[in-house]
Amino acid sequence: MLALENVLVVEYGYIDNSNTTLWPYYAQGLTIDAANAFGGLVSVPQLELGNRTFPLLVGSVVGGGSIINGMTFNRGTRPDYDSWNELGNEGWGWDGLLPYFKKVRYPPVDGSTVQKALAAIARNQRVKAF
């Protein structure tokens, strides 16, 4: 299927290429400070909590709040991905994507540069971004 639409994504903020965003190890304890957050955003009233509202911190950096999540992800469920396949996106179902999920979760240990960098981070050493 050929896509006939174009989408332009415009993000607010600066591009943060510091070690705290490039290397998951250094993201420990990273928070959004007042200078790098949109202010004044609050949740909708939470009925189960006596209609209390809570502040919402949203990073004003390219990538938004996901830039400070330690670079982790949660995989969806089989029905999530199978529905993509049913919409005509062949290969995007659970069975088509599972091998890639496994590669991300269990990367091969082959002595590659990435593996060496991850091992160095695990030993709490500074490594240069490459």
Segment 51-68, tens digit of pLDDT = 999 877 677 778 776 666
pLDDT for 86 beyond 90 = yes
Reported as a pLDDT band with limits 50, 70 and 90, residue 92 is very high
Amino acid at position 88, single letter: G
Q: List the one residue out of 130, 128, 113 whose CA is nearest residue 26.
A: 128
Reported as a pLDDT band with limits 50, 70 and 90, residue 108 is low
Q: How far apart are CA 13 and CA 5, in angstroms?
A: 26
pTM above 0.75, yes or no: no
pLDDT for 89 beyond 80 = yes
Q: Cα 51 vs. chain centroid, distance in angstroms? A: 30
Domain boundaries, the chain: 8-72, 74-130
Q: List the one residue out of 18, 107, 80 whose CA is nearest residue 116.
A: 107
User: What's the pLDDT score for residue 69?
Assistant: 54
Reported as a pLDDT band with limits 50, 70 and 90, residue 1 is low
Q: How far apart are CA 27 and CA 70, in angstroms?
A: 5
Reported as a pLDDT band with limits 50, 70 and 90, residue 91 is very high
User: What's the pLDDT score for residue 129?
Assistant: 44
